[in-house]
Amino acid sequence: MGVPWAGTADNLPTYLFTQPQKHLTFNAIASDPLRGVKSTKLYGTLNVLCMKRRTDMQVRESITTTSIPILSENSATTTTPSRSVALTVSFKSYLEEDRCPPDHLPYRLDLSLTAEATDGADYTLRTPLRRYVFVQSFKIATFNILNGKDRSGQNSIDRLGVYMHDTNDIDVAFLQEAHQDTVNQLVSRGFIKELSRNIRLSGNNDLAVLSRFPIIQNVPVPFSEPLEDYNHRWHYVIMGLGGFSVKVANLHLIATSVAASREIPEVPFRRQEVDEVMAHMRYPGMPAIILGDLNALVFQDNPPFTTPRFEFEPIYYTQPGAAPYVHFCLGISCDMTPDMGARFYLDQIWVRDSTPGLGFVDSYTAYDREPGLEQHLSDHRMQVTRLHLVE
């Protein structure tokens, strides 16, 4: 027992997903052999959050909240040495949700819950407030952050944190050019908030993952061809999303400038990198995503954006019987990205088309300045897609 509305142990919610966490029963038991227990109850609020599609690349999406009170109580005028109560909460998945306004889409269900008991002397005690967030849709982003320096060379750590967490509400961020010291600064400054719950690094001072959600495995994978003065590797993580496990590959492929300075033929070298990644990701055994700074345009033609570059054929066209990966701006239109070229630029998100798996909700290129002006936080643009689980 405790005081009303005290924070949780880490002041952060427990994140829930579909399948085994779709129907949860909460139980509370109060015991007082001396004065007895008159009542025990569980009560709180289920907030239904719905998100409108983005209308401005620099402003966070509009979110509506509908609050539904919940209560389960076991009480009597007489006391008993102990008294218990149960409360079952049923959550709706993305495809089942029917409480959103016509122009909004399901986002998440946020349950706040407290247990309370009154003893025979009419003293009341309450547990700390607990929050359970049922995830209906979630945002994944890829972003080359230039090791925490903006394009003028100034420290950008605080602005990056606000940009990822507040402006764009990212749930899982996959970063490139993210030195371990840079990641440590992002965490210590506090602006990324829940994104600091789960941090994973590739071990080469380049790739990092920041996640609200559990990461149950992090696997760095060396490329077969070394690069001078660089620990040439990529990594994948496995996220635990309730009854789902999702495998995500975070890449930083060879850049044109790097290939030129080392006198390496960039196209075949990059194709070999992709082939080695696909040895792990072609049949991942679970829903999967490939993303990162791939350092080449997606398509050969410009427009109509239909013929993939040689390097990315293994992702776009897979072996017979294997489900293809779908580029996030093809899975659902990136209408809010006014520059067509930016949709298919160096930074990419590919989602494996499978059931069970992941479905697209919306996608966009994030801008930290007005379209037409040079980005300032990085020479790359953060790419974002919102997904939901498909059972």
pLDDT band at 1 (very low <50, low <70, confident <90, very high): very low
Instruction: Give the pair of three-digit tokens for residue 23.
Output: 């129907």
Residue 269 has pLDDT above 50, yes or no: yes
* Residue linked to tokens 């689980």: 389
CB 317 within 8 A of CB 308: yes
Top-tier CATH class for 138-390: alpha beta
DSSP result, 72-97: EEEEEEEEESEEEEEEEEE---TTT-
Amino acid at 185: Q
Average pLDDT over residues 176-197: 95
Q: What is the DSSP letter of 4?
A: T
Average pLDDT over residues 223-236: 93
Tens digit of each residue's pLDDT (9 = 90 or more) over 333-373: 888 888 888 899 999 999 999 888 999 999 999 988 887 77
Q: What is the pLDDT of residue 4?
A: 47
Top-tier CATH class for 14-135: mainly beta
**What average pLDDT is seen over the chain?**
92
Tens digit of each residue's pLDDT (9 = 90 or more) over 117-127: 999 999 999 99
Q: What is the pLDDT of residue 20?
A: 81
Rounded distance between C-alpha atoms, residue 284 and residue 15, angstroms: 24
Average pLDDT over residues 322-343: 87
Above pLDDT 90, what percent of the chain? 80
List all residues 6 or more positions away from 225 whose beta carbon is below 8 Å from its beta carbon: 232, 269, 272
Domain ranges of the chain: 14-135, 138-390
Tens digit of each residue's pLDDT (9 = 90 or more) over 190-200: 999 999 999 99
Rounded distance between C-alpha atoms, residue 303 and residue 299, angstroms: 9
Which is more confidently placed, 19 or 296?
Answer: 296
Strand partners, 358: 389
Tell me phi and psi for residue 151, to 5 degrees: -70, -10
Amino acid at 338: P
What does each C-alpha distance from 296 to 285, 331, 336, 367 come to in angstroms?
A: 28, 20, 22, 20
pLDDT band at 19 (very low <50, low <70, confident <90, very high): confident
Closest among 277, 302, 307 to 291, alpha carbons compared: 277
Q: What is the pLDDT of residue 341?
A: 85
pLDDT band at 2 (very low <50, low <70, confident <90, very high): very low
Tell me phi and psi for residue 67, to 5 degrees: -100, 130
pLDDT band at 89 (very low <50, low <70, confident <90, very high): very high
Q: What is the pLDDT of residue 350?
A: 97
If 0-12 CB within 10 Å is exposed, 13-18 middle and 19+ buried, where does residue 253 land? buried
Q: What is the pLDDT of residue 338?
A: 82
CB 182 within 8 A of CB 147: yes
Pair type for strands 288-293 and 244-252: parallel
pLDDT band at 331 (very low <50, low <70, confident <90, very high): confident
Tell me phi and psi for residue 46, to 5 degrees: -100, 110
Q: What is the pLDDT of residue 132?
A: 95
Q: What is the pLDDT of residue 9?
A: 55
Amino acid at 8: T
Tens digit of each residue's pLDDT (9 = 90 or more) over 40-69: 999 999 999 999 988 877 788 899 999 999
| 31-35, 71-75, 352-356, 381-385: segment of lowest average pLDDT | 352-356
Residue 221 has pLDDT above 90, yes or no: yes
Cα torsion through 57, 60, 61, 67, rounded to 10: 180
pLDDT band at 33 (very low <50, low <70, confident <90, very high): very high
Average pLDDT over residues 2-28: 76
pLDDT band at 6 (very low <50, low <70, confident <90, very high): low
Rounded distance between C-alpha atoms, residue 89 and residue 111, angstroms: 9
Query: 33 by DSSP, 3-state: which?
Result: coil
